[in-house]
Amino acid sequence: MIIITYILSLLSILFNNEPMKLKADFLIFNARIYTLSPNKTIVESMAIDKGKIIFIGTTAQVKEQYSSISEIDLAGKPVFPGFIDAHCHFYGYGEQLKRVNLLGTESWDEVVTRVKEFAQTNQASWIQGRGWDQNDWAVKEFPTNELLNQAFPDQPVFIKRIDGHAAVANNAALKIAGFSASTKISGGELKIKNGILTGVLVDNAMDSLEKSIPSLSKENIIEALMAAQEKCFAVGLTTVSDAGLDKEIVDIIDSLQQQGLLKMRVYAMLTDNEVNRNYYYKYGPYKTERLTVRAFKFYADGALGSRGALLKNPYIDDPKNIGLLLKPVDYFTRKFAECEAHGFQVCVHCIGDSANKLILDLYGKILKGKNMKRWRIEHAQIVSPTDMKLFESFSVIPSIQPCFTTSDMYWAETRIGKTRMVGAYSWNSLLEKTGIVACGSDFPIEDINPLYGFFAAITRMNQKLLPVGGFMPSENLTRDAALKGMTTWAAYTNFSDEETGSLTIGKYADLVVLDNDIMTMPSEETFKAKVLMTFVNGELVYKK
Ligand SMILES: [Zn+2]
């Protein structure tokens, strides 16, 4: 080796070249790279080869030691580890992108126009959409479906109201469902005018029609995933933890990744169903370079908005209601034990204080004490302060959604009252107990942009900068914690901390370059920072 180096340097002298340099696929210079390595170094420069970081240091050091045909001078721009959304619905978001978005429409005419425009560029056997709200229109009445029938005499159209409790179907859709003016559906309503169906369906009538809609073709599923990926790369996401996938979708993701089409890293939480259990209990967790399948997702309770969150004491605004436990306790006990026996992480949706306590106690019976199993509570939204220690006792990770704070802050207290707000959306208190929080958005419920979550976590203000000073500001996360929540800690939560989540030698070059430094710019402007470039495995997947 020494001889070879000697000969090489001799050759370089003979040919009057610079000293021999090591080759790299590309180099980044003059950046402000937040490595998030334990010693918290910010470095200027890095060399990347074969998808991995091979050197970090000053620009001078990198230039001295490496050469590459691709050199990127970032002129001082900040670089972060690729962002990880620790809880989202990547495929669900993609599905939604294949539907017409009717939010903000100001009239029924506008709804129909949008549906027509959508149909011109999207091919599907059914046109589906969501988001209209007749309360936003001049005529605040339910529409009738004539215009849709004229525009789509043969193709079925089904578009839901903003709240998902009513929809309009055209006659082609009603025909497929077998609905007529005499159809009766309990718990639902088919609106009738002058003796004929108007197309407006409420609750169970709507659900009943939905059963006639064929599930997406494989082609459509692929389109949905690819569309979701494109949007996610543009906001700097390089890993998504999908909180509930079927084996069918996991298999498609895997094959798209193997073909090099889907470049996004995916951490899959499996939906708790028989197909998933039968297969994955038999074969165990599955891991490739870009896909990890080693978790099952459960729901303990519902949501706070619809009063389905399971509370220890009744709702303030519904005194006979304590919410819903979605499965019996012994069901959870059995399933958690099965997951543990088969090597799967358990992730449970818990919103209410009772749901959080109950699941943490069940975890405790299996996990017994501190451990490395990285079981998680999804949302951890209302936790009695006295129960927070349970996270610590059983090494349970709170998987939190900072944007929920600012989405719910105007009405959460009317549901649960002032006393229980202590412990609600209490991200910093949880962090103090656990030393770790994983941050997610739960998109498409919230926006996909992880910087919105970062901003909400550090300011607890909405994007109108209200309330002034932030909502329960003692629960703000520091910038450092909020950044770790969507990088290092999220990677740990996904069992990928050896490969992603920080920018150190040997890790995948998953990087995001921003136009502004979210660690130093005014905190109330951080949500406006834009992604300039996103890299996955050292490959440029987005450029502004
Ligand atoms: Zn979710």
In the chain, the percentage of residues whose pLDDT exceeds 70 is 96
Q: What is the model's pLDDT at position 141?
A: 87
pLDDT higher than 70, residue 6: no
Task: Say how many Å lie between the CA of residue 55 and the centre of ligand 1.
Answer: 37
Cα 378 to Cα 298: distance, rounded to the nearest angstrom: 9
Task: Say how many Å lie between the CA of residue 151 and the centre of ligand 1.
Answer: 36
pLDDT higher than 80, residue 230: yes
Task: Say how many Å lie between the CA of residue 435 and the centre of ligand 1.
Answer: 23
Give the residue, 446 or 471, on which the prediction is more confident: 471
Q: What is the model's pLDDT at position 228?
A: 98
Q: What is the model's pLDDT at position 436?
A: 97
Q: What is the model's pLDDT at position 39?
A: 78
Q: Do 428 and 482 meet the contact criterion of CB atoms below 8 Å apart?
A: no
Longest pairwise C-alpha distance within the chain: 97
Q: Which residue from 396, 408, 409, 393 is spatially nearest to 350, judged by alpha carbons?
A: 396
Distances (CA, A) of 474 to 384, 409, 421, 428, 477: 16, 15, 13, 7, 9
Per-residue pLDDT tens digits for 321-363: 999 899 999 999 999 999 999 999 999 999 999 999 999 999 9
The mean pLDDT value for 401-429 works out to: 94
Per-residue pLDDT tens digits for 81-95: 999 999 999 999 999
pLDDT higher than 80, residue 239: yes
Average pLDDT value for the chain? 93
Per-residue pLDDT tens digits for 205-218: 998 999 999 888 89
Task: Say how many Å lie between the CA of residue 9 and the centre of ligand 1.
Answer: 58
pLDDT higher than 70, residue 416: yes
Task: Say how many Å lie between the CA of residue 401 and the centre of ligand 1.
Answer: 10
Task: Say how many Å lie between the CA of residue 361 and the centre of ligand 1.
Answer: 22
Give the bridge partners for 80, in sequence order: 512
Task: Say how many Å lie between the CA of residue 278 and the centre of ligand 1.
Answer: 23
Q: What is the model's pLDDT at position 131?
A: 86
Q: What is the model's pLDDT at position 485?
A: 98
Cα 377 to Cα 381: distance, rounded to the nearest angstrom: 9
Per-residue confidence band for 7, with pLDDT thresholds at 50, 70 and 90:
low
H/E run at residue 237: strand 237-245
Cα 302 to Cα 65: distance, rounded to the nearest angstrom: 56
Task: Say how many Å lie between the CA of residue 178 and the centre of ligand 1.
Answer: 33
Task: Say how many Å lie between the CA of residue 184 and the centre of ligand 1.
Answer: 34
Give the residue, 162 or 421, on which the prediction is more confident: 421
Give the residue, 503 or 123, on which the prediction is more confident: 503
Task: Say how many Å lie between the CA of residue 368 and the centre of ligand 1.
Answer: 27
In the chain, the percentage of residues whose pLDDT exceeds 90 is 84
Per-residue pLDDT tens digits for 135-155: 888 888 899 999 999 999 999
Per-residue confidence band for 8, with pLDDT thresholds at 50, 70 and 90:
low
Q: What is the model's pLDDT at position 80?
A: 98
CA angle 303, 308, 313 (to 5 degrees): 115
Q: Which residue from 410, 95, 454 is spatially nearest to 244, judged by alpha carbons?
A: 95
Task: Say how many Å lie between the CA of residue 499 and the centre of ligand 1.
Answer: 25
The mean pLDDT value for 204-232 works out to: 92
Task: Say how many Å lie between the CA of residue 74 and the centre of ligand 1.
Answer: 36
Torsion (CA) 376, 377, 380, 383 in degrees, nearest 10: -100
pLDDT higher than 60, residue 469: yes
For the record, the structure tokens of 240 come out as 């998504």
The mean pLDDT value for 195-211 works out to: 92
Which ranges of 259-328 would DSSP assign to H, the alpha helix? 274-283
Task: Say how many Å lie between the CA of residue 243 and the centre of ligand 1.
Answer: 6
Distances (CA, A) of 31 to 43, 246, 506: 7, 41, 19
Q: What is the model's pLDDT at position 19?
A: 67
Give the residue, 33 or 98, on which the prediction is more confident: 33
Task: Say how many Å lie between the CA of residue 349 and the centre of ligand 1.
Answer: 8
Cα 166 to Cα 168: distance, rounded to the nearest angstrom: 7
The mean pLDDT value for 210-236 works out to: 94
Task: Say how many Å lie between the CA of residue 245 and the centre of ligand 1.
Answer: 11
Task: Say how many Å lie between the CA of residue 19 and the centre of ligand 1.
Answer: 54
Q: What is the model's pLDDT at position 163?
A: 73
Cα 411 to Cα 306: distance, rounded to the nearest angstrom: 12
Task: Say how many Å lie between the CA of residue 402 and the centre of ligand 1.
Answer: 13
Per-residue confidence band for 17, with pLDDT thresholds at 50, 70 and 90:
low
Task: Say how many Å lie between the CA of residue 518 and the centre of ligand 1.
Answer: 26
Per-residue confidence band for 15, with pLDDT thresholds at 50, 70 and 90:
low
Which ranges of 211-286 would DSSP assign to H, the alpha helix? 218-233, 247-258, 274-283
Q: What is the model's pLDDT at position 307?
A: 86
